[in-house]
């Protein structure tokens, strides 16, 4: 089992779904959890659940789609914990709007959160990790985001395809700095096993 004691794990979109699941599991295994979301409604509940069980977690409320927001999160986490060992990019929006009815705001917001947010967080966290010569970044990609006759989410599909390509390129560019970048399927039933398999491989 991967030793996570004194490791700092930053999770965006930690209030729901796989982000919430991973926050709980990382805390159970001894990590410090920096839980980000744009709204306090769910993420503060996540942090409370963790601390009530004796775990260690703190809330960071910012919009990762904004450069200043992303940079502020990284700075605050670094100030609070002194390091960032693992970044999980989970923040995403998924409006179900037919292509011909979608307005420009919906399109831009999906790409801003799902793709630009991952870029901004990877860039800011990557700079911190580079100074230490190590780090792990995992981008959660929704596997079901594939074109189909019943899907009405062109922007979301485009963002997930872009995130996959971005991750592959980031992995190539950041590896010389000791930073490993991966994708993991955004599947609640499998996310824990997949993420910890990636981390286990790094320990061997």
pLDDT value of position 111: 97
Tokens of 129: 């990790």
Residue of 4, 2, 12, 40 lying closest to 137 (CA atoms): 12
pLDDT value of position 1: 63
DSSP character string of 71-124: HHHHHHHHHHHS---EEEE-------B-GGG--HHHHHHHHIIIIIHHHHHHHH
The percent of residues in the chain predicted with pLDDT above 90, rounded, is 86
Strand, helix or coil for residue 156: helix
pTM for the model stands at 0.94
Residue 196 neighbours by CB distance under 10 Å: 18
pLDDT value of position 203: 59
pLDDT grade, residue 200 (50/70/90)? Answer: confident
pLDDT at 148 over 70: no
Give dist(CA 9, CA 7) in Å, integer.
6
pLDDT at 195 over 90: yes
8-203 falls under which CATH superfamily?
A: NAD(P)-binding Rossmann-like Domain (3.40.50.720)
**What b-and-e string marks burial along 36-48, b requiring 16 or more CB atoms within 10 Å of the CB?**
bbbeeebbeebbe
Residue of 13, 66, 6 lying closest to 39 (CA atoms): 13
> Under a CB-based contact definition with an 8 Å cutoff, are residues 135 and 125 in contact?
yes
What digits encode the pLDDT tens for the residues 34-65? Answer: 999 999 999 999 999 999 999 999 999 999 99
């Amino acid at each position: 089992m991967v030793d996570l004691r004194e490791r700092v794990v930053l999770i965006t979109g930690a209030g729901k779904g796989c982000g919430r699941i991973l926050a709980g599991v990382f805390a159970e295994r001894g990590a410090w959890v920096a839980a980000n979301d744009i709204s306090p409604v769910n993420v503060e509940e996540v942090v409370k659940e963790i601390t009530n069980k004796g775990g260690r977690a703190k809330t960071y409320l910012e919009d990762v789609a904004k450069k200043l927001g992303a940079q502020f999160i990284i700075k605050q986490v670094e100030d609070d914990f002194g390091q960032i060992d693992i970044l999980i990019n989970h923040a995403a929006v998924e409006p179900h709007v037919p292509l011909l009815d979608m307005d420009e705001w919906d399109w831009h917001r999906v790409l801003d959160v799902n793709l630009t947010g991952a870029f901004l967080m990877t860039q800011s966290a990557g700079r911190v990790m580079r100074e230490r010569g190590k780090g792990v970044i995992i981008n959660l990609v929704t596997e079901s985001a594939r074109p189909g006759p019943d899907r009405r989410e062109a922007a979301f599909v485009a963002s997930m395809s872009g995130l996959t390509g971005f991750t592959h390129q980031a992995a190539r560019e950041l590896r010389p700095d000791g930073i490993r970048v991966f994708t993991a399927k955004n599947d609640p039933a499998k996310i824990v096993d997949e993420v910890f398999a990636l981390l286990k491989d790094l320990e061997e």
